[in-house]
Amino acid sequence: MHGVSNESMRKRRRGAELEAALLEAAWDELVAVGYERLTYEAVADRAGTSRPVLYRRWPSKRELVLAALRHRTPPLPDAPPDTGDLRGDVLALLHRVITRMRELAPVREVLAAEQGQATELSAYLAARNQGPGLTWMRTALERAARRGEIDAPDALPDRLVTLPVVLVVHELFMARRTPTDADLEEIVDQLFLPLVAHQLGQHP
């Protein structure tokens, strides 16, 4: 099965092709064993190369994992879905959060390990989380204000704005279950929208 030796692979691959292979191997190892157990030796073995090849590019495990995350995770969209009304926007946004969390399941352990650390890796993870948690929700609320659904969205506190996403992430990470459509509708219809209306004094 191994008709091509590691040595011939090292000779053939260069530049971007080699780097992509190394980062794919790092991602696969992260998925297989997790952040804490990931080693340069195992990644090098997966990639059919040597540890010095990895160390020259990424001197620390944090740098290697950060590069693998950047290589493998798609860029965050600039804005949440636009469905034409606030309720639809928030539901669509929550569905996107669930999909993204599933795609990035190996990142959970990295998040836990990097919590409270002031590193480039922790900053990257924080930026990834901020999009759906606050920036996207603010965008959805600003759209709703332009459509005349709500007034003065800037008056809403951040804790209220991020409530739907926080509840979904709690279900995924802490309760270890994926919220159903009914769960999402309950969050939006019975918690979020009534609280927004109360905060803004927009009672039916």
6-72: CATH topology is: Arc Repressor Mutant, subunit A (1.10.10)
Look-up of token digits 């008709």:
3
User: Per-domain residue ranges for the chain?
Assistant: 6-72, 86-199
pTM, whole model, 2 decimals?
A: 0.68
pLDDT digits (tens, 9 = 90+) for 164-194: 998 998 888 777 788 999 999 999 999 999 9
**pLDDT (0 to 100) of residue 84:** 95
**pLDDT (0 to 100) of residue 101:** 75
Distance, in Å, from the CA atom of 148 to the CA atom of 146, rounded to the nearest integer, reads 5
Instruction: Report which of 24, 164, 190 is spatially closest to residue 98, judged by C-alpha positions.
Output: 164
Token output for 37: 């157990």
Distance, in Å, from the CA atom of 196 to the CA atom of 204, rounded to the nearest integer, reads 12
Coil, strand or helix at 148 = coil
